[in-house]
């Protein structure tokens, strides 16, 4: 009797979500020498592209759609990465509850087998739940298609209302103001970017935007939208109505958790991973905006930034291949609002002291955040040199003594040497 031994062809890795993190994960797997199949499935029609310019250069007209792609089509071919765009994964099933292998099914009925799985599914903008919220002319900005529609509508608008004074809302407001629109920002809290920056920085940005012609309204809670077919105004809780041809809502992101939840790997706030990107099932990872991960000092946190998506995807790729993860990096982020370049590193949560350094009125300064006298974060406005030095000090676990941090005669890099 002859026995013919057959070896099953590996199904490889399925990456759900073709954004910044998904692309990086696929790229890192190949860079680390993974020769098994890699399939990336993305719900958008476009292959991975840069989101940050959507609220900045693309909206203000200095970057074109074709300049946003992260990689050309030859990259996917050359690296043997199957990139499937425009298909939404609706369901996943594991062979058994603890196995990383299984199959996924897309809305079009495609079935994709996998041995290992990665969630890089990002999130969706939090929606307004108020009367009139589904009127035409009310926009959210997450995707390239959203940005194309918004830009088109803005071209015909004179009066723009932005609901939400966070990073994305303020970037949109700055772009629209610089394009000659009359722009009002409505922020329900008593200061801008309140979840991310210190009151000193919020106050600076309120004044800086006002100087450039954007109307900032703080403590302005939206109760509804006026209009018959299209939006014509935004109603505030006190009954005031602000006229609007276009409204953009930027009130946060809800991570996509449905698929991971269906196999017990997510809570309401994200896909739960450890600092290597592993879920509790070996061979299933998550990275980017959808992942809520264990942080050395801050417990469970979910970050929304390009550098975080890249760093987590690299770590998760190493985890899938059983390699050592790299050293965890200090989180960093940037936001360009008009000609103000804000660069941030570290996490400000739990700070008890802020030292301002530089020329606040001249729009060239930084804010250094401390806890118990130790530097934990930096935010710099048009002050890249201070930002880079402080970030390197944070990465090295060093300190800038708070009592001398405001002295601009002493370059911050001095403290790195020490
Ligand atoms: C307007 C804007 C401006 C920004 N500016 C900055 C900035 O200045 N600096 C910065 O650091 N960050 C910025 N960000 C944030 C940054 O873009 C994100 O943190 C980053 O893109 C996250 O990447 P990701 O891969 O985790 O998620 P995403 O880029 O959102 O990618 C996830 C992808 O998964 C797809 N997907 C989800 N579920 C499924 C499914 N079931 N089936 C198939 N596909 C699915 C989604 O369609 C999406 O394409 C900005 C974001 C926006 C929207």
* CB 17 near ligand 1, within 6 Å: yes
Domain contains 1: no
Whether residue 142 sits in one domain with residue 217: yes
Domain count, the chain: 3
Long-range contacts of the stretch 104-108 (C-beta < 8 A, 24+): 104/14, 104/16, 104/41, 106/41
For 102, the 3-state DSSP assignment is strand
CA–chain centroid gap for 399, Å, is: 28
User: Is there a single domain that holds both residue 81 and residue 41?
Assistant: yes
The DSSP H or E segment spanning 392 is helix 384-395
Confidence of residue 4 (pLDDT cuts 50, 70, 90): low
How remote is the CA of residue 123 from the centroid of ligand 1, in Å? 7
For the cut 70, the answer to whether the pLDDT of residue 3 exceeds it is no
Output the domain CATH number for residue 353: 3.30.390.30
Each residue's pLDDT tens digit, 20-69 = 999 999 999 999 999 999 999 999 999 999 999 999 999 998 999 999 99
CATH number for the domain spanning 88: value is: 3.50.50.60
Residues 133 and 79 in one domain: no
From 289, 320, 351, give the residue that closes a domain: 320
Identify whether residues 136 and 156 lie together within a single domain: yes
Ligand 1 pocket test: pick from 47, 52, 266 the residue with the most ligand atoms within 8 Å of its Cβ: 52
pLDDT confidence bin for 212, thresholds 50/70/90: very high
Query: Does residue 246 share a domain with residue 141?
Result: yes
CA of 124 to the centre of ligand 1 (A): 9
| pLDDT reading at 5 higher than 70 | no
List of residues 6+ apart from 375 with CB closer than 8 A: 346, 368, 369, 390, 393, 394, 398, 399, 400, 402
Closest atom of ligand 1 to 289 CA is 26
> CA-CA distance, 204 to 340, in Å (whole number)?
11
Where a domain ends, among 232, 251, 270?
A: 251
pLDDT, tens digit (0-9, with 9 covering 90-100), for 365-402: 999 999 999 999 999 999 999 999 999 999 999 999 99
Residue-wise DSSP of 27-72: HHHHHTT--S-EEEEESSSSPSB-SGGGGTHHHHTSS-GGG-BSS-
Mean pLDDT, the chain, rounded, equals 95
- The answer to whether residues 152 and 189 touch, using CB atoms and an 8 Å cutoff, is no
**Is residue 403 in some structural domain?**
yes
Looking at residue 203, its pLDDT comes to: 96
Q: Are residues 99 and 176 in the same domain?
A: no
Measured CA to CA, the distance from residue 343 to residue 358 in angstroms comes to: 15
Q: In terms of DSSP bridges, do strands 123-125 and 253-255 run parallel, antiparallel, or are they unpaired?
A: antiparallel
Last residue of a domain, one of 320, 348, 371: 320
Residue 8's pLDDT is 75
pLDDT at 195: 86
Asked if residue 106 and residue 183 are part of one domain, the reply reads no
In a domain, 240, yes or no: yes
| 115 and 258, same domain (yes or no) | yes
Residue numbers of the domain that contains 406:
339-417
Token pair 């959808």 in the structure block, residue: 290
DSSP state, residue 230: B
> Is residue 62 included in any domain, yes or no?
no
**What's the pLDDT at 1?**
47
Among 5-9, 262-266, 330-334, 360-364, the range scoring the smallest mean pLDDT is 5-9
Q: Please indicate, yes or no, if residue 208 is contained in any of the structural domains.
A: yes
CA dihedral 204, 386, 357, 333 (to 10 degrees): 30
The token duo for 277 is 């990107």
Domain contains 327 = no
């Amino acid at each position: 009797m002859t026995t013919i031994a057959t070896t099953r062809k590996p199904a490889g890795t399925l990456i759900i979500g073709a954004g910044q993190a998904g692309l990086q994960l696929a790229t890192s797997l190949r860079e680390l020498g993974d020769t098994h199949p890699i399939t990336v499935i993305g719900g958008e029609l476009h292959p991975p592209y840069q989101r940050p310019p959507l609220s900045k250069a693309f909206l203000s007209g200095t970057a074109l759609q074709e300049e946003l792609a992260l990689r050309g089509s030859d990259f996917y071919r050359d690296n043997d990465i199957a990139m499937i765009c425009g298909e939404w994964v609706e369901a996943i099933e594991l062979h058994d509850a603890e196995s990383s292998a299984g199959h996924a099914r897309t809305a079009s009925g495609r079935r994709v087998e996998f041995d290992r799985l990665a969630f890089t599914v990002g999130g969706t903008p939090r929606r307004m739940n108020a009367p009139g919220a589904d009127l035409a002319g009310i926009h959210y900005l997450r995707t390239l298609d959203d940005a194309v529609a918004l830009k088109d509508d803005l071209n015909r608008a004179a009066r723009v209302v932005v609901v939400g004074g966070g990073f994305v809302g303020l970037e949109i407001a700055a772009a629209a103001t610089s394009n000659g629109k009359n722009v009002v920002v409505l922020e329900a809290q008593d200061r801008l970017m309140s979840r991310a920056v210190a009151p000193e920085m919020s106050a600076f940005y309120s004044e800086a935007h006002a100087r450039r012609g954007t109307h900032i309204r703080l403590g302005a809670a939206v109760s509804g939208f006026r209009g018959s077919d299209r939006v014509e105004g935004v109603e505030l809780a006190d009954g005031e109505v602000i006229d609007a041809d276009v409204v953009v809502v930027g009130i946060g992101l809800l991570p996509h958790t449905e698929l991971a939840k269906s196999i017990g790997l997510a809570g309401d706030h994200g896909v739960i991973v450890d600092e290597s990107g592993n879920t509790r099932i070996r061979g299933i990872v998550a990275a980017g905006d959808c992942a809520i991960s264990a942080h050395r000092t801050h417990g469970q946190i979910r970050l929304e930034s390009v550098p975080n998506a890249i760093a987590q995807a690299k770590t998760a790729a190493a985890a899938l291949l059983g390699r050592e993860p790299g050293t965890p990096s200090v989180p960093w982020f940037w936001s360009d609002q008009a000609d103000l370049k804000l660069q941030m590193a570290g996490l400000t949560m739990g700070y008890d002291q802020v030292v301002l350094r530089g020329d606040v009125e001249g729009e060239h300064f930084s804010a250094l955040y401390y806890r118990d006298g130790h530097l934990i974060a930096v935010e710099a406005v048009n002050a890249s040199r201070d930002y880079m030095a402080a970030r390197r000090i944070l990465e090295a676990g060093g300190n800038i003594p708070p009592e001398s941090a405001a002295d601009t005669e002493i370059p911050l890099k001095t403290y790195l040497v020490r």
